[in-house]
Chain A
Amino acid sequence: MKTKTKISKAKLVMSITIGIACFALMLVMFMQFKVVKQTDITSIETMRESDLRTELSDWKAKYTELTELYDDVTSRIAEYQSESETDEETAQLLQSELAELNEALGLTDVEGEGITITIQDNGGQELPDDMGYVSNISETDLLVIINELFDAGAEAISINDNRIVAMSDIFRIGGAYLQVNSEPIRSPYVIKAIGDPTYLESAAYNKDGRLTALQEAGHSIQIESSKNRKIQIQKYNGTISTKYMN
């Protein structure tokens, strides 16, 4: 009886020591894992110099943008805080904020420098040398072109005067008809984009871009840059639903 308790005591001490040692080791390991995860080293560690340079300039641009936004918000706070304010002045402040938000939502007619692209769908026409027929412009083509224009810094885009907003969709509704924002459209597709005309133009003429591909596939494309000349883009006429979002 006595010896048995002695042994179990020794065992207990031993297992506790081992337990503590294991626990400490595990702790260190998890700490390490966490550090490795946090530093996010894998993504930039494996990059080459040129990638690193673009990454750096991307982050710098984002930082500059954020600085502007921050200054904007702080100056607004100061405006609301100013003591002498009457209700009228507050209303003006609120109105100007709302006007800016509505502009960003695409709920106002806008104008500015930009580009106008006209695409004539030559679908069904015979290709030379018995190469078959030209296939119709698809919704994906238009989606990709819009994506390319936004990538080139477009601020507002419309297709056949239908404004592209966050939840805009493009669908084929049969035959040569597509629809944008549930409005039927057909060729020629007139895409207007407001933004830096130089960037927009270089995106439109990009040899790897979708417009070049469509031209090579047999469609007629006309690109008109409006440098120093304003183009108008209409507002979105639908409603933006938030029924299911809380």
Chain B
Amino acid sequence: MTDKKMISLILGCMCILLSAGIAIQVRTIGGIGTSTGSNSTENQLRDAILKTKENYDNLYEALEKAEVKLETERTNATQNNSELTDLENNIKEANKQLGLTEVTGEGVIVTLNDSTVPLTGSTILSDPNDYLIHYEDIISIINELKNAGAEAISINGQRIVANSVIKCDGTVIKVNGQKIGTPFVISAIGMQETLAQVNRYYGYLWKMKNEWNLDVSFERTKNPITIPKYTGTIKFNYAQSQ
């Protein structure tokens, strides 16, 4: 009797789980179906975007292989000559400084999230925009990290380089032309003691937390942080060295 009960209970749980899964799927696919509509121009555009993306991904893969090959060729060409090896090392260092390599090191992680304060009671009449993270907040926090001695910074996996743009595009924030959403996780590599300045009393982060009630956190990680490389291109068409 107890055995049977157990079995039926387990079966029941399984069924509920499966049904929930199926329900979620149906809803997801249903959602896609409605927005797809019957507009053929839009569908063509979607196809074109997917195709370009695919081409881009393929080319990027080829580029990565070519870069590895370039490095081996360079090493081959410079071996047995210390002067040339020095030059090669300078090139490696410059690539690292530019943000063209993945780097690991000690550092901090700042997480920014919209406010969790519910719009009730005394706050019901306030502007909901005051409870969101704006691109200016991100620019300011990154500026603080740079001031505190950061050597490499990324936000939601996007490496910050000299020409990186953080902008507001309608309701989304774009970094390096890529859309990112909350929570904004900003990683910075550098000396932890100086980077901790970002978390100082009455600093920008402190204000975000205590005056604007935004959901922010600061973490000195025990383990080294890894920051991905910049995947865009850096090319000058107007500026020329003198």
Interfacial residues, chain A to chain B (CB-CB below 8 A): 11, 15, 18, 22, 25-26, 29, 32-33, 36, 41-49, 52-53, 55-56, 58-60, 62-63, 65-70, 73-74, 76-77, 80-81, 85, 87, 90-91, 93-95, 97-99, 101-106, 108-114, 139-140, 143-144, 147, 150-151, 154-156, 164-171, 194-196, 232-233, 240-246
Contact = CB atoms under 8 A, between A and B. Distances in A.
B241 A109 contact: yes
Interface string B56-70: 100110110011011
Contact of B152 (A56, A155, A245): A245
B166 A56 contact: no
Interface residues of B, number: 94
Contacts of B219: none
A112 B239 contact: yes
Contacts of A111: 239-240, 242
Nearest to A195: B238
Contacts of B88: 94
Contacts of B241: 99, 103, 108-110
Nearest to A107: B94
B236 A139 contact: no
B6 to A, nearest CB: 11
Given A56-B48, A69-B233, A73-B67, A105 B97 contact: yes
B151 A112 contact: no
B239 A155 contact: yes
A155 B163 contact: yes
Determine chain A's interface SS by DSSP, over half rule. helix
21 contacts: A22-B14, A36-B28, A45-B46, A48-B42, A52-B45, A63-B59, A69-B63, A69-B235, A77-B70, A90-B81, A102-B94, A103-B239, A104-B234, A112-B238, A113-B238, A139-B143, A156-B236, A164-B162, A169-B143, A171-B143, A244-B191
Contact of A90 (B29, B35, B77, B242): B77
Given A69-B235, A98-B91, A167 B49 contact: no
Contacts of B149: 241
Q: Is the interface of B mostly helix, strand, loop or mixed?
A: helix
B171 to A, nearest CB: 12
B95 A101 contact: yes
B140 interface: yes
Nearest to B44: A52
Contact of B49 (A15, A55, A73, A241): A55
A93 B3 CA distance: 78
Contact of B239 (A48, A101, A110, A170): A110
Given A150-B163, A155-B237, A144 B99 contact: no
B77 A85 contact: yes
Contacts of B12: none
Contact of B87 (A55, A60, A76, A91): A91
A168 B83 CA distance: 32
A170 B63 CA distance: 36
Contacts of A52: 42, 45-46, 49
Given A77-B70, A164-B162, A165-B162, 4 more contacts: A73-B63, A94-B78, A101-B94, A240-B97
Contacts of B151: 167, 241-245
A95 to B, nearest CB: 7
Given A80-B73, A245-B104, A167 B150 contact: yes
A196 B18 CA distance: 58
A208 B8 CA distance: 64
A56 B51 CA distance: 10
A150 B35 contact: no
Nearest to A19: B14
Most buried by A among B96, B152, B190, B236: B236
B34 to A, nearest CB: 10
The 9 closest A-B pairs by CB, nearest first: A101-B94, A245-B103, A80-B73, A169-B147, A52-B45, A169-B146, A94-B87, A110-B239, A112-B238
